[in-house]
Amino acid sequence: MWEHRGQRQFSYEKYFGIVEPSDTDVENFAQGKDSVMDRTRRLFYVCCSRATRDLAVVMFVQDIENAREKIAETGIFESGDIVDEYALEAALT
């Protein structure tokens, strides 16, 4: 979600543990303030819970293998449901 274009309100990479939270994120969390991870968690919940049929979550990341591992560790998705562009392309052909 636009996090690399000056958008600092949401970060799926931070939410899924793909990148480390900033010092400000850690400080806000320690003080009980609203954080990037809190906002992203709420947005992710709304996006996922509003799907009425099929749901696909797409992330654009630099390190695909690391992202796959971190997302799998959360247990939110079945490991077989986490696919990269190559697996998706193969499934569609």
Sorted by where each begins, the domain ranges of the chain are: 12-92
Q: Cβ distance 59 to 74 under 8 Å?
A: no
Hey, CA dihedral for 4, 85, 69, 43, is it positive or negative?
Answer: positive
pLDDT tens series, the chain, 93 aa: 444 555 678 999 999 999 999 999 999 989 999 999 999 999 999 999 998 888 888 888 889 899 999 999 999 988 888 988 888 888 888
Q: Is the entire prediction scored with pTM above 0.85?
A: no
Query: Are the C-beta atoms of 82 and 68 separated by less than 8 Å?
Result: yes
